[in-house]
Structure 1
Amino acid sequence: MPIWLQWTLIAAGLGVIALLLVFIFRQAKALADGKRRQAKATAFLEQRRQDMVESVRVIALAVEADQVEYSEACLRLKGLLDHLAPELLEQSPYRVFLEVHEHLQHMPTHRARQATETRFVEKMDKERFEIEKKYADEIRRAATAIRLHAFDN
């Protein structure tokens, strides 16, 4: 085999090795970036979960201190529990949040409430207050229970 062919094959081999090294380093960097993104996403979701747990506890404290309307608390707690631990909504004493939500879900809120006729809003408020009165003791007990509940990660 002529010497020039040997040197050409050596040069080609070194070129292939260089290209493979570049490919390996890019793949390693991509894997590291993916792991970093995954860790960041996991940390974000964990922080979001902890924020929701804290919100549940704050709302429960507000219920216990009579600082929030029970209907509002039930709607908010049901929404948070849907994300945190939906199975709790089927268990006693937390079932009351779901029951009150089901009674109130047809009522407009926020802008829709503002756009609704005043007499209709007054009628809905009367219905809402009756529901709050009917479930008041259960709501207070459930609020205390959910405040003390240990949400597992």
Structure 2
Amino acid sequence: MPQWLQWSLISAGAIAIIALLGFIRRQMTMLTENRRRQQKAEAFKAKRRQDIVDSIKVIAMAIEEDQVEYSEACLRIKGLLDHIAPELMEKSPFRVFLEVHEKLRHMPTHQARQDTEIRFVEKMDKERFEVEKRYADEIRRAATAIRNHRF
């Protein structure tokens, strides 16, 4: 084999090795970056979940101390539970949050409530207060239970 062919093959091999090392390095960098992004996303999800749990517990404490209307608290807790533990609303005593939500979900809220005629709002408020009165004991028990629940 001629010497120039040997040197050509050695050079081609060295170039192939350098190219493969570059490719491997780029792949390692991409893997590291993907792992970092995934860890950041998981940390964000964990923090968001913990924030939701904290919100549920604060609302439950507000119920226990009569600092919030029960209907509003049930709607909020139901909305938060939908994100982290929807199956919990099918169990006693937490089922009351879903039941109250079902009874009140036809009522307008926020801007829609402000845009509604006053007599109709008063009629809805009367209905809402009746629902709150009917479920008051169950709501308080569920609030205590959910405040002590380990998510």
TM range (shorter): over 0.9
Letter in 1 for 2:127: E
Structure 2, unmatched stretches of 5+, are none
Query: 2:49 is aligned with what amino acid?
Result: R
Identify the residue that residue 122 of structure 2 maps to in structure 1.
122
Shift of 1:105: 0.6
Query: Any idea what SS the aligned residue of 2:67 has?
Result: coil
The aligned amino acid for 2:81 is L
AA matched with 2:130: E
Secondary structure in structure 1 of the residue aligned to 2:83: helix
Q: Secondary structure at the match of 1:123?
A: helix
Residue type of the alignment partner of 2:99: E
What do residues 100-128 of structure 1 show as CA deviations (whole Å, max 9, x unaligned)?
00001111111111111111111111111
Where do residues 142-153 of structure 1 align in structure 2 (5 Å cutoff)?
142-151=142-151
> Which residue matches 1:4?
4
Deviates more, 1:5-14 or 1:90-99: 5-14
Q: Does 1:82 align with 2:90?
A: no
Aligned length: 151
Aligned AA (1:116): T
CA-atom RMSD, angstroms?
0.7
- Aligned partner letter, 2:16: V
| Alpha-carbon displacement from aligned partner over 1:121-148 (angstroms, at most 9, x marks no partner) | 1111111111001100100010000001
| Residue ranges of structure 1 left out of the alignment (5+ in a row) | none
Alignment of 1:40-51 (within 5 A): 40-51=40-51
Using the aligned pairs only, state the percent identity: 72
Which amino acid counterpart does residue 125 of structure 2 have in structure 1? D
CA distance in 2, matches of 1:13, 1:80: 61
1:93-112 equivalent positions in 2, closer than 5 A: 93-112=93-112
Distance 1:150 1:52 in 2: 13
Tell me the TM-score normalized by structure 1. 0.97
Question: CA–CA distance in 2 between the matches of 1:117 and 1:11?
Answer: 86
Deviation at 1:60, TM superposition (A): 0.2
In the alignment, residue 124 of structure 1 is paired with which amino acid? M
User: Could you tell me which residue of structure 2 aligns to residue 139 of structure 1?
Assistant: 139
Residue 112 of structure 1 aligns with an amino acid whose one-letter code is A
- What TM-score, normalized to structure 2? 0.98
C-alpha distance in structure 1 between counterparts of 2:74 and 2:13, whole Å: 71
